Structure 1
Amino acid sequence: MRTSGVYLLCAFLLLSLNLLFVSCSSDETNSEEPMLIVKFNFDGNQQRLNNLGQPAAIPAGHAAQTPDFHTISAHYFELAPDMYTQLGDGSVLYHAPETTQGGTNAIDFSQAKIVSEGETFLKIPLSQVASGNYNWVRVSLSYQNYSIKFRQAGVDYNGTLASFVGFNTYITSHSIGNNFFDVNANRLQGYWAFALDDYPYSSEGQAPAGATTVPNPLASTSPIPAGSCVVTGKFANELQITGNETKDVVVTLSLSINKSFEWQEITPDGKFEPSIGENVVDMGLRGLIPSFTREN
């Protein structure tokens, strides 16, 4: 009888521990806060826009190609209720670190969060998003990394380009494959570096000031500062945040990369050939279409 009593006591204690574990697990699951999750998508078929958000052709004397995107970074993200909401007056949910180490204020590239397509860029508790109805997204892009085609002495190669499109970026160093670029200074919007994929060749340069396309369909009612890269896009359906959400909201920022790498041609053959003086003139994204889903 004593032995049976010991077995019963052990079984009771084990059952109690199991129930406690289940209870704690359930509490932890129920206590997970719903999040706003932001991801990027790159679309080579999305409409190619100009600074005013209107369809744009390639200018005479220029050529362009649709790059193969690898990664991207941004330093600012905002939800705006309507077309009259001025930059900064919406729900500003992200502002990346900046520094004056290079002299003037600049994005701190050493702290940039760089992601690939579909990877989570931001994950913000929905409790930090002001309740309201949002129709517009503003995202300030800062860095792009993608593959392009390149011609040298009549031979075509593949290469990788690092493109810095933020208003001003402090860079200690950065790399493309085994190629390292020591900068240790600020670089204004339009700085780029390039390296061939399979050959020991690299170069760097600067696109002209003001040449980077930054589509803003709200230019007449809600302008952006010159030299910034705050791309603006409208939700097809209004995003409503009530403050009572129990599930995640996933916002996808679809960026148009339709012929987004543009240069001034010397030989009119549609081939980028910097060795003969063909210079990069535009690396801006060509449009933003935001969308959202509510996770089940």
Structure 2
Amino acid sequence: MKIKILTLLVLSVISFSCSDKDDDQVIAEDPQLIIKFKFDPTQVRLNGTGQPSTIPAGNAAQSPIFNSISAHYLEFTPNALTQVGQGAILYTGPSTALGGANAIDFSQAKIVGEGEAFLSIPLKNVPHGSYEYVRVSLSYQNYNVNVLASGVNYVGTLASFVGYNNYITTHNVAGNPFVVNDDKLQGYWAFVIPSVGYSTSGQSTGVTTVPNPISSTSPIPAGSCLVTGKFANNFVVTGNETKNIEVQLSLSINNSFEWQEVNIDGKYEPAAGENVVDMGLRGLIPSFTILN
């Protein structure tokens, strides 16, 4: 009798273990929706309503070299009449009120470089439908820009916070810590020239351009950085997907770092009093690929 009971117990454990393994395998093999960013200095430069834009007289701009980016919100939208929040909301980042008002919790932000997966979720969790637009609320940018000071060219690293409101404890730029412990509204920045040990921070008084080609039918909230872009062909989810799908969010960085000139030479010279007036992205083109 003892032998029979022992045998049954062993068989039960084997059966249970196999069942767990199979469940894990099914979960691991669920086709995923993978979101990645691309930074394109040649992509068309747009204004806030999604129209091609030139640099205003008296200003100058450059295309920065991006290191990393973060976003706070991602939504797939069926058409141009769909209002913000009425599409398929695929991601909302952590928020906090520690600074007194609701704000993006930067300490929990996911920061990625070009080509890194920002988000990976099972396709079965994406509502079935046909989506024409993507809306992504960008919150943080880290990039290198060229700077002229006392006749010498330097490369500086800029951290640009473009989210509606950001609660920041301490953040690092090129290895330099900036202690904040407070909310910072859209436009806060920190800047470092590593080669000379220079660092500073401030609040931009300019406008952060947020391209939205459907602004006339589906406007975005004031103060947000909810960039909108259109798929060349609608992104369709049927529920029968068997392979991973990668969505690439190509962001235009074409002269996206803009300042007001004091010395008319096309060089960014902060020591001469040249102030940054725009740190927004200049357009979004989403595309998707079915992976093997």
Q: TM-score, normalised by structure 2?
A: 0.91
Deviation digits for residues 75-104 of structure 1, max 9, x if unmatched? 000000000000000000100001111111
Give the one of 190, 194, 213 matched to 1:193: 190
Partner of 2:242: 246
- Letter of the 2:197 partner, please give it: P
1:58 and 2:81 aligned: no
Give the one of 178, 181, 198 matched to 1:181: 178
Give the one of 120, 123, 127 matched to 2:120: 123
Deviation digits for residues 202-245 of structure 1, max 9, x if unmatched? 11111115x00000001000000111000000000111100111
- Cα offset, 1:128, TM superposition: 1.1
Q: Which runs of 5+ in 2 are unaligned?
A: 1-13
Partner of 1:228: 224
1:162 and 2:174 aligned: no
1:78 and 2:75 aligned: yes
Distance 1:24 1:111, change over 3 A: closer
Partner of 1:151: 148
Q: Which moved more, 1:196-205 or 1:211-220?
A: 196-205
In structure 2, distance between residues paired with 1:70 and 1:115: 8
1:263 and 2:259 aligned: yes
In structure 2, distance between residues paired with 1:232 and 1:226: 14
Partner of 1:134: 131
Report 1:36-47 matches (<5 A).
36-47=33-44
- Cα offset, 1:38, TM superposition: 0.2
Identity, in percent, stands at: 62
- Letter of the 2:180 partner, please give it: V
In structure 2, distance between residues paired with 1:146 and 1:134: 31
1:273 and 2:266 aligned: no
The structure 1 segments of at least 4 consecutive aligned residues displaced by more than 2 Å after TM superposition are: 21-31
- Cα offset, 1:27, TM superposition: 7.3
Aligned residues: CA RMSD: 1.8
Q: How many residues align?
A: 277
User: Tell me, what secondary structure is at the counterpart of 2:196?
Assistant: coil
- Cα offset, 1:107, TM superposition: 0.3
